[in-house]
Amino acid sequence: MGDHGGILAIARIPRKVAGGLGNKRSHLSEAAKRTSAVGLFGLLQTRCRRVLRTIFAAAGTLCLWNASSLAQIAAPVPSLFRDGQMFLSAVAAEKPGQAVSGRVTGIGVPHHLLAANLIARGFWTAAHNAYQRIIIISPDHFGRSRRPFATTRRDFETPFGTLQTDGAMTDALLANRELFGESDLFDQEHGVEALLPFVKYFFPDARVAAIVASYASTRADWDRAVERLREFADDRTLIVQSTDYSHYLPLETAIRRDQETLSVIASGNLDALNGMVQPDHLDSKAAQYIQMRLQAEVYKAAAAVIANRDSTDFGSLGTDVTTYVVTAYSPQLDTGSRLRYADQEVIYFGGDTFVGRWFTQPLAKPATADMLVERVLGVTGGSPLVVNLEGVLLDEPPPGLASNLHFMHAELAVRILRSMNVRAVSLANNHSHDLGSDGVAETVAILKRAGIQPLRHMEPTELGGTGIIAVNFIGASDHKRYPVIRGNANLQKLCASRARTPLVAFTHWGNEFEEDATPAQYQAADLLHRCGVGIIIGAHSHRASRNIEARTGGEYQMLGSLGNLLFDQRGERVSGALLELRRFAKGTVATRLIPIPNLFELSVGRPVPRAAAAQQ
């Protein structure tokens, strides 16, 4: 990748300097000092497993046995799970400033107590819900299970009291003797033990079903487990995925692996997940797979990734790291939008925006304009927004302009854009040039006076910590009127551009009223990626794509189209979505696609006149 921006160039992020042992420890909190042994223990046991699996590929059970033996002689570890103050400190540190409402059906949290604060963050997202059952799905770190999965009928002691097991559920699971076995492994299994105090603290009356997945389990086993768990995944159940992510890799490599994982989570692509490497990407593909399937199929819930950090953030020493990801699943997409934290930056992208022509009159009514703005802010929470502005801004539009020319009254348009906290608009499209270079110049001047950044074709810019480049692929008979990509050779200029990571390409491309990308778009996307682009977000088609795609194993993400944000079109052939982009301190990015209603239909509340529909 050379010096170019983009997620793949993220290896340029400098590795943190650990410093002397005494100096480093002097900065650890008491809780971190007590828990660092757990984190280092987890690193040691999984490293053993990885090395032995490489040497004895045909004897993986030997590796797991060695890890189990190590656990038995590590006497200090179990006592940490009884330190109530340590858990209370983590809970207090992550308590949100204001209560978060909304239904949460699943969370994904670490199980290294080194990252106890992140475990607490995940549980806080669900704290306002009432659950009768908590299902924990963890990896079987020590290979104690003789079946693809194991569970137990025993109750658990925590610093906050006894946590009772859901006997009816465990009995039903153990009835399938080929898939589930009963085991005493839970005495030492930190994938479960580390989470139990949080379960008891947040949901004291709930019963728990603890499940571990064997490293020898297959995708067929995971699918069978989903079918068994489906009957217990009801409205009073929280599914807790206990997972640590990239293991034993240098920080810069771990960051790339995490980005691939975050891309796969955003896409929901189970095939891509199955192709990931364990433990380079995560320590339990089984737990991730089961969570993703149950959330998508049973709850119709989407994941909001709310943390991505690594062991060095918590004082761990050494050149190799373990990474952590926290997710919250909700069928209410605005729930994820309200989860905001100081260790990340959130921005949104919106699709085709044109507040002229037949949209002018509805938006001139303050009540209507306020209603539409509130619908957008209900998703974005007032975070910065970037849109594709399909037209020309004019302070005083001259009379007699044809309706096929996209022009907007600047006063009205700017008021709407600023109310939605639009920070940047793409002018890399054909309609921003409908009135020639003079129209573009006036649009740029108006935007700059309003404090809105204009994004010109192939000119990279920065919005916070995110590099963005707008690219126009839509041509016409008169190419001289506006800049456009005339072939893939033009894209090579992008490789000479420099921008911060991640580099987002906001593309104007595709076929109108089609949600699927064309082969030509995929070809261009691959070239954009090779030039350093990590995320490609499309506009122009007026119809939103259904999914984010994780391309080349999650190395980059692509969304064919966001469809319409504000555009005077109605009917089933048009749709819209917003894309949430969370950038974490380590440079990785999590995205989330949020469908939105047709805001023009909401504003007019009646069919578009036939002549107007024909013009559209």
**pTM for the whole structure:** 0.85
What is the residue whose two structure tokens read 């126009």? 472
Task: Give residue-wise pLDDT tens across range 365-418.
Answer: 999 999 999 999 999 999 999 999 999 999 988 887 887 889 999 999 999 999
What's the confidence (pLDDT) of residue 543? Answer: 97
* Predicted pLDDT of residue 500: 54
Would you say residue 42 has pLDDT above 60? no
**φ, ψ for residue 428, nearest 5 deg:** -85, 65
Q: Which of 70-84, 306-320, 472-486 has the lowest mean pLDDT?
A: 70-84
pLDDT (0 to 100) of residue 266: 97
* Strand ranges, E, within 156-298: 156-158, 161-163, 180-182, 207-213, 237-242, 247-250
Which position has the higher pLDDT, 6 or 378? 378
Q: In this predicted structure, what is the pLDDT of residue 99?
A: 77
Rounded distance between C-alpha atoms, residue 547 and residue 562, angstroms: 10
190 HSE (CA, 13 A, CB side): 34
Q: What is residue 44's predicted lDDT score, i.e. its pLDDT?
A: 46
- Res 496 pLDDT > 90: no
pLDDT average, residue stretch 333-357: 93
253 contacts: CB under 8 Å, gap ≥ 6: 11, 246
DSSP 49: H
Q: In the predicted model, is pLDDT for residue 17 greater than 80?
A: no
Instruction: Determine the residue type at 563.
Output: G
At residue 506 the predicted structure's pLDDT band, cuts being 50, 70 and 90, is: very high
Which of 143-152, 250-259, 341-350, 493-502 has the least mean pLDDT? Answer: 493-502
What's the first-to-final CA gap in the chain, in angstroms?
A: 43
Range 26-249+283-334: architecture per CATH: 3-Layer(aba) Sandwich (3.40)
- Give the burial string for 333-367 (b: 16+ CB within 10 Å, else e): bebbbbbeeeebbbbbbbbbbbbbbbbbebbeeee
The CATH fold assigned to 343-607 is Purple Acid Phosphatase; chain A, domain 2 (3.60.21)
Q: How many CB atoms lie within 10 A of CB 157?
A: 14
| CA–CA separation, 367 and 51 (whole Å) | 65
Q: pLDDT-based confidence at 80, cuts 50/70/90?
A: low
State the average pLDDT over residues 74-78.
Answer: 37
Q: Which residues contact 25 (CB under 8 A, 6 or more apart)?
A: 33, 315
The Cβ of residue 575 has, within 10 Å, a number of other Cβ atoms equal to 24
Q: What is the pLDDT of residues 271-291, one digit of tens each?
A: 999 999 999 999 999 999 999
Mean pLDDT for all residues in the chain: 85
Q: Return the higher-pLDDT residue of 349 and 399.
A: 349
Distance CA 27, CA 33 (A): 10
Question: Domains of the chain: which residue ranges?
Answer: 26-249+283-334, 343-607
**Tens of pLDDT, residues 156-203:** 999 999 999 999 999 999 999 999 999 877 777 999 999 999 999 999
